[in-house]
Amino acid sequence: MKFIYLFLFSLFPVFGQITYQGGDGPGKGKHIVFVASDHEYRAEETCPALARILAQHQGFKTTVLFGVDGKGHIDAGASDINGLEALKDADLMVIFARFLDLPDDQMKHISDYVERGGPIVGLRTSSHAFKIPKGKAYSKFDFQYGGKEYEKGFGHQILGNTWVGHYGRNHKQATQIQLIKEQKDNPILRGVGDNALCMAGAYVGIPDDTFTVLTASQPLNGMTKDAEADPKKKPSPSTWTRHYKSKDGKKARVFHSTQGASQDLLDSNYRRLIINGIFWAAGLEDQIKGDAKIDFVGTYNPTRFGFGGEVKEVKPQDLADINSPLMPKK
């Protein structure tokens, strides 16, 4: 048994993944796979934090797949994510990625998941998750893809928006998340308080008739909860649900939030919004409880988001203990 444990443990740097086995709870029997690799907003912190909450408190089995470097260290934004074959049997994919150009053998697993109509949760930069040169096998996923059959790529076709632009000054203007009053009875908003504070700046959100918009982002003139709203910026759609169609025409659920930076999770109302959205995407809206436990598991001290400054030389196995700190300081 000890030999088997050591063998499996040694695979973590190769596969770049961690799995938290769920216990009892509404998510028991469901497997959520997180794809975490962005350059700026600390997907490598947001995703394991959510995965731990969902496993420990709600019973889901959760797997987090990280972008890694050649030495097996978590590498923010890296286009090398091993273990994507886990999507074959996953009940839900949560993606938080930016400008990925994965090898074809890895990208195939994401393409297959989309083709079979797996439900998807997309966070922040996943509107521009892929930047794949023309002529490659999966170039249609590129956020600027020009072909009419898959215009504007994964972000537009699946999440509803490709990258449009910042709405206000990122890193200078925090965001107040305002609930849409007409959606007060939507199960995703159960227990979610109004005016959550997200540190990541707002994005431009452009809804269409296929969206159910749940929240709007109000840029603030500052980075604190008591900062005043920017009078020059009206609220912009920031959280919505929609559906996309699989290759065989099946309707699949999508939940998208234009926020999601590691620091955003510190606001319990925003954290609950994302947890509830994950439940809805997994087809468990009847199990959404407004008072469900969403406390962090282990110490959560998120790193300030930005280009550079991420915690270095951390391997996935450093996070394998569900109570280990996020992120461990080297």
Predicted confidence (pLDDT) per residue in 284-327, tens digit? 999 999 999 999 999 999 999 999 999 999 999 999 999 999 99
CATH assignment at residue 33: 3.40.50
Rounded average pLDDT over 120-136 = 97
Residue 210 has pLDDT above 80, yes or no: yes
Cα 290 from Cα 184, distance rounded (Å)? 12
pLDDT at res. 305: 94
Cα 189 from Cα 278, distance rounded (Å)? 12
Beta pairing, strands 236-245 & 212-219: antiparallel
Residue 1 has pLDDT above 80, yes or no: no
Average pLDDT, the chain: 94
Is residue 98 in some structural domain?
A: yes
Cα 237 from Cα 256, distance rounded (Å)? 11
The number of domains in the chain is 1
Rounded average pLDDT over 4-32 = 72
Is residue 220 in some structural domain?
A: no
Is residue 232 in some structural domain?
A: no
Non-local CB neighbours of 248 within 8 Å, separated by 6+ positions: 117
Domain extent at residue 48: 2-165+237-319
Matching residue, tokens 């280009």:
307
User: Residues 246, 118, 302, 230: is their CA dihedral positive or negative?
Assistant: positive
pLDDT band at 329 (very low <50, low <70, confident <90, very high): confident
Rounded average pLDDT over 92-104 = 98
pLDDT at res. 254: 98
Matching residue, tokens 């965001």:
175
DSSP characters for 151-220? TTHHIIIIIS-----EES-TTT--EEEEEPGGGTT-GGGTTPPSSEEESSPEE-----TT-EEEEEEEEB
pLDDT at res. 8: 41
Cα 232 from Cα 239, distance rounded (Å)? 21
pLDDT at res. 6: 36
Please report, for residues 50, 257, 265, the alpha-carbon distance to residue 213 in angstroms, rounded to integers and kept in the order given: 22, 10, 20
pLDDT at res. 4: 39
- What's phi and psi for 8, nearest 5 deg? -65, -40
Q: What is the token pair recorded at 61?
A: 């089995």
pLDDT at res. 281: 98
Rounded average pLDDT over 275-279 = 98
Non-local CB neighbours of 212 within 8 Å, separated by 6+ positions: 183, 186, 240, 241, 242
Listed in sequence order, the DSSP H helices in the chain are 2-15, 43-58, 104-115, 153-154, 268-281
Is residue 55 in some structural domain?
A: yes
pLDDT at res. 322: 96
pLDDT, tens digit (0-9, with 9 covering 90-100), for 149-166: 999 999 999 999 999 999
Range name among 12-26, 113-127, 189-203 with the lowest pLDDT average: 12-26
pLDDT at res. 225: 94
pLDDT band at 279 (very low <50, low <70, confident <90, very high): very high
Is residue 129 in some structural domain?
A: yes
The percentage of the chain sitting over the pLDDT mark of 70, rounded to a whole number, equals: 95
Cα 73 from Cα 177, distance rounded (Å)? 34
pLDDT at res. 173: 97
Is residue 62 in some structural domain?
A: yes
Helix (H) or strand (E) holding 63: strand 61-66
Non-local CB neighbours of 43 within 8 Å, separated by 6+ positions: 36, 37, 76, 96, 97, 98, 123, 124, 125, 260, 262
- What's phi and psi for 214, nearest 5 deg? -105, -35
pLDDT at res. 193: 98
pLDDT at res. 23: 87
Is residue 199 in some structural domain?
A: no
Is residue 130 in some structural domain?
A: yes
Non-local CB neighbours of 21 within 8 Å, separated by 6+ positions: 55, 61
Residue 26 CB neighbour total at 10 angstroms: 18
Largest CA distance in the chain: 63
pTM of the prediction? 0.94
